[in-house]
Amino acid sequence: MAATRACGAAANTSENIMSLKKALSVASPLTLRIVAECPVTKARACDLILPHSAVSTPVFMPVGTQGTLKGITVDQLDALGCQICLGNTYHLGMRPGPDLIEKANGLHGFMNWKRNLLTDSGGFQMVSLVELSEITEEGVKFKSPYDGKEILLTPEKSISIQNSLGSDIMMQLDDVVSSTVTGPRVEEAMHRSIRWLDRCISANKNPEKQNLFAIIQGGLNTELRKACLDEMTQRDVPGFAIGGLSGGEEKDDFWRMVTLSTDHLPREKPRYLMGVGYAVDLVVCVALGCDMFDCVFPTRTARFGSALVPWGSLQIKNKQYAKDFEPIDSDCQCPTCKRHSRAYLHALFKSDSAAMHHVTIHNIAYQLNLMCSVRQSIVEGCFPEFIRTFMKRMFPSRDQYPGWAVDALASVNITLE
Amino acid sequence: MAGCRMKLELSRVALGKGRLGVLKGLGKTGQLSLEVPGCLLHTHLGTVPHLTQDTLSTLSTLPSVTQITLSNIAEHQEVLEEFKDGFRKFAGLHDTVLYCALHDPATPCPTGHTTNKTVSVWGSGGRIELTVAKFMALQKAVKPDWYQSMADGETWQINTSHKRVRKSVDRSLAHLDECLLVHQKSQELEGVEVFGVVEGGDILEERVRSAKETAKRPVSGFCLDGLQTGSMDQALRTQLISAVTKELPEDKPRLLQGVGRPDEVLASVEAGVDLFEGFFPFQVTERGCALIFNFNISSNPELAVLEPGEDQETAGDSQHNGDLNPDDQTQMTSFEINLKDKRYQGDFRPLVEGCGCYCCRNHQRAYLHHLLVTNELLAGVLLMIHNTAHYHAFFSALRDALAEDTLDLLKRRVLGQTERKD
């Protein structure tokens, strides 16, 4: 993975290593060094220095929900150039539970991942997964899908679990409301998230080793978002996430909330846009000022045989690939593309689960490479050009460019001809 | 004349005690070899189940012969014919010998579809009927280094009459003759070796007849079919194999199909078998188990003190002894541990202490347990790595034991564990 490795290497020139060492010797478990800023858009390229290693941003973080990236070993993940990935507090808190993981030397020890980990608080599962019993000021009552028992997830409990997991970045427990919900519930959730942030900060037993990020809420309402931003940025947290988006809302509303958020987030702290993973969304949101992204999409879609490519995606299981003897992407340097053809993978999907792993590896490589190229172009001062080339490759013609993307890019001075 | 570069060089032959040697002259260039007794690398369409090249290459010693089966491949005939360059290239396999078998040993298929002129395989889309013509067309499209001839081995899954067994022998001989005829006329198959298949069910005279007749044909070696795990007890299997191998030339290899359990392997080696299909690690993996049986008989006094059960697991006892049915291929054996069992929840040891495989070097039983309980795909990957490593190391130990004349000691070590009933 030459390209991605080079990205990581760029963060480690001798000059950088000196300041890295300096940074690590200071008590803060997070240091953000802005390496380059795009003069046209709001994009930045940074070195995010975390306890386990430096991370080059913009960065896409693959999701390994249950302490594993589905079907991929930690060595394979490392070889792809991944510097940080996700684990999920809700799932791991259920099985195998925080006590066992603590015994195993945290999630790093349990899954044997030597680089960085970010854990979500379990809040999103409130919207996505579980039959909700009740949300109160105290916390969220879930009904466990495994034994039907009721569990109360409070800010304190979420942080306690994340402390046991030992992740480098922890997320606050937020009162998550679906982005399609309107009305007073949105405001209630926003205010509560602020109160829960404070409780999370108090509950953090390892502030010198684990970074607690706040999550900006407020739905699709400008006033509420702004209010949340104003309040949360007063807290001394090492980073901010933009939450409550990427859940089925109109893209026109989505990008406006993203750019509003980055306008009011401090420059010198990382901005993490949660749940975003489609290539177009990533490129646009980098232009809008975001540094970190996560999404299950690339890895999940791989298991269904969907391979991501610069011009969209290939449904490998479709008949049309049965006799296609080209690799998924002839320009891709990933292990899958170097050895296997679309036709072989198409056939393998009928015989063995390894077919899924091949495509998973390719998709992770695609995402990481995309981010690497984005970063490189920001560093070299040609990000606007990169965006234009990217869009041209992705869409057959100008009139197929998504309207929201055109608008969003225009808002940061990028005109697509 | 079928390819005949394959040469079996035996270094030790002792009646009733197995053969030791090297199968040489393998592959396109004839440069590859395989130690015997040995097992082949079992694959689905050329892929070791669950593994990609990265994970596969963590295994340091792999057999030089990869087994593919027509049950996976038959439905892709058109694709391979359009591809033109053979299966090896299609699958991205590089320096390996390709052996093409008929049926996947890990997946028994439905019976009742074999005729005088055809056998059937089951692909992802259902049953595919093969005549010798189609069978040979497939071989030409696949371009293996070596293949077994088409055979009727449907004598072991169900109770078969004497008449049916006789038919399987007759048909298989007829298929062999037809295959060889086509083979000799095919330029695409020049240099490719053919194994004849010995049938005969559980009937001694038929076994002998099949062996004698098959040995008359110009084949490079012999598959022994119809003796699969679950078809008969090992005593009968040993008796039949011994009778068969008496009729086969000493200098040609014998491959026993469908047998993979360590105890059956040991007994079959003693009866004169050289090669096995390496599917047992896959079966163990599929049931969420890990091979842990001990085959270490080194003369290191420290290691010799390690009695089974002391530092090591008592295999199989997480399951009621009464449930152990040796004939059920899917059921856990006494050579493995069931990692789904609650007892492994907080067990931070590797699967096998001292095992150098990627799984044992990097992960613990507790993690494997978690992966299995949460239905994670990585469980299959890690277990496949370990089980393959463990199994192939067993074969290595078996060869060492034959070389040093310590087979009895190895048997006691490996089989001794099945007797514990704590």
HSE (side-chain half, CA atoms, 13 Å) at B98: 26
- Do A334 and A288 belong together in one domain? no
Return the percentage of chain B with pLDDT > 70, whole number. Answer: 90
- Do A99 and A234 belong together in one domain? yes
Asked if B377's CB is within 8 angstroms of A357's CB, the reply is yes
B24-33, B241-250, B384-393, B412-421: segment of lowest average pLDDT: B412-421
Confidence of residue A356 (pLDDT cuts 50, 70, 90): very high
Q: Is residue B151 scored above 90 in pLDDT?
A: yes
> A70 touching B, CB under 8 A?
yes
Question: Smallest CA–CA separation between A8 and chain B, in Å?
Answer: 21
Cα B343 from Cα A170, distance rounded (Å): 31
Q: Is residue A153 scored above 50 in pLDDT?
A: yes
pLDDT at site B157: 76
Q: Is residue B1 scored above 60 in pLDDT?
A: no
B320 is in an annotated binding site: no
pLDDT at site B100: 98
Q: Is residue B306 scored above 50 in pLDDT?
A: no
- Do A55 and A118 belong together in one domain? yes
In a domain, A405, yes or no: yes
**Which of A168, A291, A294, A329 is the catalytic position?**
A294
pLDDT at site A25: 52
pLDDT at site B308: 44
Return the percentage of chain B with pLDDT > 90, whole number. Answer: 83
- Measured between CA atoms, the residue of chain B closest to residue A97 is B370
pLDDT at site A132: 60
Tens digit of each residue's pLDDT (9 = 90 or more) over B3-13 = 568 999 999 99
SS3 B371: helix
- Do A111 and A242 belong together in one domain? yes
- Measured between CA atoms, the residue of chain A closest to residue B43 is A352
Where do the DSSP E strands lie in A281-326? 292-294, 306-309, 312-315
- Do A167 and A309 belong together in one domain? no
Q: Which residues contact A273 (CB under 8 A, 6 or more apart)?
A: A241, A242, A245, A246, A258, A285, A290, A292, A293
Question: Is residue B345 within 8 Å of A96, Cβ to Cβ?
Answer: yes
Asked if A110's CB is within 8 angstroms of B378's CB, the reply is no
Q: Is residue B359 scored above 60 in pLDDT?
A: yes
Q: Is residue A299 scored above 50 in pLDDT?
A: yes
Taking any CB pair shorter than 8 Å as contact, residues of chain B touching chain A are 44-45, 47-55, 58, 72, 75-76, 78-79, 82-83, 90-92, 123-125, 345-346, 348, 358, 362-364, 366-367, 369-371, 373-374, 376-378, 380-382
Cα A70 from Cα A86, distance rounded (Å): 12
Range ranked top by mean pLDDT from A385-399, B4-18, B307-321 = A385-399
pLDDT at site A49: 97
> A318 touching B, CB under 8 A?
no
- Do A182 and A311 belong together in one domain? no
Instruction: Give the pair of three-digit tokens for residue A208.
Output: 């010198």
A135-144, B120-129, B268-277, B283-292: segment of lowest average pLDDT: A135-144
Rg (CA), chain A: 21
Confidence of residue B325 (pLDDT cuts 50, 70, 90): low
- The CA–CA distances, whole Å, from A175 to A50, A205, B239, B274 equal 27, 22, 72, 66
Mean predicted confidence (pLDDT) in A139-150: 79
Answer yes or no: is the ipTM higher than 0.90: yes
pLDDT at site A22: 57
Return the percentage of chain A with pLDDT > 70, whole number. Answer: 92
- Find the CATH number of the domain harbouring A142: 3.20.20.105
Return the percentage of chain A with pLDDT > 90, whole number. Answer: 82
Asked if A361's CB is within 8 angstroms of B72's CB, the reply is no
Confidence of residue A179 (pLDDT cuts 50, 70, 90): confident
Asked if B50's CB is within 8 angstroms of A339's CB, the reply is no
Choose, out of B378, B383, B384, B385, the residue to mutate when testing the contact with A (most A CBs < 10 Å).
B378
Mean predicted confidence (pLDDT) in A242-259: 93
Confidence of residue B85 (pLDDT cuts 50, 70, 90): very high
Query: Which domain-ending residue is among A294, A312, A345?
Result: A294
Cα B143 from Cα B100, distance rounded (Å): 9
Helices and strands of chain B, counted as H and E runs: 15, 16
pLDDT at site A248: 84
Annotated binding site of A for Zn(2+): 332, 334, 337, 362
- The CA–CA distances, whole Å, from B91 to A27, A333, A363 equal 52, 18, 20
- Do A179 and A243 belong together in one domain? yes
The residues spanned by each domain of chain B are: 18-277, 332-412
Q: Is residue B417 scored above 70 in pLDDT?
A: no
Mean predicted confidence (pLDDT) in A316-321: 98
Query: Which domain-ending residue is among A262, A294, A326?
Result: A294
pLDDT at site A142: 78
In a domain, A20, yes or no: no
Tens digit of each residue's pLDDT (9 = 90 or more) over B137-147 = 999 999 999 99
Confidence of residue A134 (pLDDT cuts 50, 70, 90): confident
Tens digit of each residue's pLDDT (9 = 90 or more) over A168-177 = 999 999 998 8
- Do A241 and A357 belong together in one domain? no
- Do A268 and A369 belong together in one domain? no
Question: Smallest CA–CA separation between A74 and chain B, in Å?
Answer: 9
Q: Is residue B329 scored above 90 in pLDDT?
A: no
Give B371's contacts in chain A (Cβ within 8 Å): 66, 68
Give A67's contacts in chain B (Cβ within 8 Å): 367, 370
Range of the domain at A97: 29-294
Give B53's contacts in chain A (Cβ within 8 Å): 335, 339
- Do A307 and A285 belong together in one domain? no
Give A352's contacts in chain B (Cβ within 8 Å): 44-45, 47, 49-50
Counting Cβ atoms within 10 Å, is residue B105 exposed (0-12), middle (13-18) or buried (19+)? buried
Asked if A72's CB is within 8 angstroms of B362's CB, the reply is no
A294 is catalytic: yes
Q: Is residue A130 scored above 70 in pLDDT?
A: no
| Number of independent structural domains in chain A | 2
pLDDT at site A122: 87
Asked if A339's CB is within 8 angstroms of B346's CB, the reply is no
- Measured between CA atoms, the residue of chain A closest to residue B379 is A71
B314 vs B24, higher pLDDT: B24
Asked if A348's CB is within 8 angstroms of B374's CB, the reply is no
Cα B347 from Cα B370, distance rounded (Å): 11
Mean predicted confidence (pLDDT) in B285-304: 82
Amino acid type, B182? V
Asked if B72's CB is within 8 angstroms of A351's CB, the reply is yes
pLDDT at site A124: 79
Asked if A67's CB is within 8 angstroms of B367's CB, the reply is yes
- Do A337 and A190 belong together in one domain? no
pLDDT at site A19: 60
Cα A89 from Cα A171, distance rounded (Å): 9
A387-401, B58-72, B296-310, B325-339: segment of lowest average pLDDT: B296-310
Confidence of residue A181 (pLDDT cuts 50, 70, 90): confident
- For strand B126-130 and strand B119-123, is the pairing parallel, antiparallel, or unpaired? antiparallel
In a domain, A147, yes or no: yes
Mean predicted confidence (pLDDT) in B351-377: 97
In a domain, A24, yes or no: no
Residue B193 backbone dihedrals phi, psi, to 5 degrees: -90, 150
* DSSP line for A146-209: TT--EEEE-HHHHHHHHHHHT-SEEE-------TT--SHHHHHHHHHHHHHHHHHHHH-S-TTT
In a domain, A380, yes or no: yes
In a domain, A184, yes or no: yes
Give B48's contacts in chain A (Cβ within 8 Å): 354
- Do A106 and A243 belong together in one domain? yes
**Which of A120, A168, A175, A281 is the catalytic position?**
A120
pLDDT at site B310: 36
Indicate the fold that domain B18-277 takes in CATH.
TIM Barrel (3.20.20)
Query: Which domain-ending residue is among A294, A316, A337?
Result: A294
**Chain A with chain B: Cβ pairs closer than 8 A:** 123
In a domain, A325, yes or no: yes
